[in-house]
Amino acid sequence: MRPQLICLLGAECTGKTTLARDLANQLGSPWVPEYLRRFTALHGRTPRQDEQNHILQEQCTLEEAALQLARQQGKVWVVCDTAPLLTAVYSDCVFHDTSLYPQAWALHQRYALTLLLETGIPWVADGVQRDGEAMRTTVHARLLQTLHQSALPFVHIAGTGDQRLQAALDAVEHLASG
């Protein structure tokens, strides 16, 4: 059985990393960290426009490695802390570059479940990749618009801590039983 991908989408500081780790732990599944964090730690800066495709490709590479690990371990799920679609949205919002959307939409078909994290938690600065509350609002709106325009199914995840985790677990259970 091929493991299925679950992706968490959300603007910065919406709790993707925390929820991805918690959800993976609850499911006993591998999780894929956000490559952008590794990039900013390595370079000490946010990526330039010409590096956005690299960010997208590296995220896919990490996902493929996690899928291979999950297959070897007989796991059903792989939880992804973001997806290439978020890279495309950021590229659009920050650089007004829409060139990554076609590839990101095509890649998004791989996910069995998309969880969209709402912005209802406090924004907290977290290293060099943080753009602020205004950008978080802009990115969230663009994510919603993009998901609706492309007719990609998704589940809203709101609340805090345990509420978010329970909503995510409920979404996975619903998918597994459907």
Query: What average pLDDT does range 56-74 have in this prediction?
Result: 96
Q: What is the pLDDT of residue 160?
A: 84
pLDDT digits (tens, 9 = 90+) for 149-169: 988 889 999 988 899 999 999
pLDDT greater than 70 at residue 82: yes
What is the pLDDT confidence band of residue 125, given thresholds at 50, 70 and 90?
A: low
For residues 76-103, average pLDDT: 96
CA 87, CA 42: separation in Å to the nearest integer? 18
**Given strand 31-32, what is the order of strands in its sheet?**
31-32, 77-81, 4-9, 111-117, 155-157
CB 73 within 8 A of CB 117: no
- Rounded CA gap, 84 and 105, in Å? 8
Expressed as residue numbers, the domain containing 99 is 4-177
Pairing of β 111-117 and β 155-157? parallel
- Reported as a pLDDT band with limits 50, 70 and 90, residue 70 is very high
Extended beta strands in the chain, E state: 4-9, 31-32, 77-81, 111-117, 155-157
Q: What is the pLDDT of residue 142?
A: 96
**No. of helices (H) and no. of strands (E), the chain:** 7, 5
Average pLDDT over the chain, rounded to an integer: 91
Sign of CA dihedral 4, 150, 117, 8: positive
Q: The tokens of 159 are what?
A: 């609340």
- Tally of structural domains, the chain: 1
Which CATH number characterizes residue 23's domain? 3.40.50.300
User: Can you read off the two tokens belonging to residue 52?
Assistant: 């956005």
Residues 6+ apart with CB under 8 A from 140: 10, 11, 14, 118, 119
Predicted TM-score (pTM) of the model is 0.92
Separation CA 38–CA 45 (nearest Å): 11
Q: What is the pLDDT, as a whole number, of residue 15? A: 85
Share of the chain above pLDDT 70, in %: 94
* Whole-number pLDDT of residue 126: 65
By residue count, the chain amounts to 178
Residues paired with 111 in a beta bridge: 5
- The distance in angstroms from the start CA to the end CA of the chain is 17
Question: Is the pLDDT assigned to residue 128 strictly greater than 70?
Answer: no
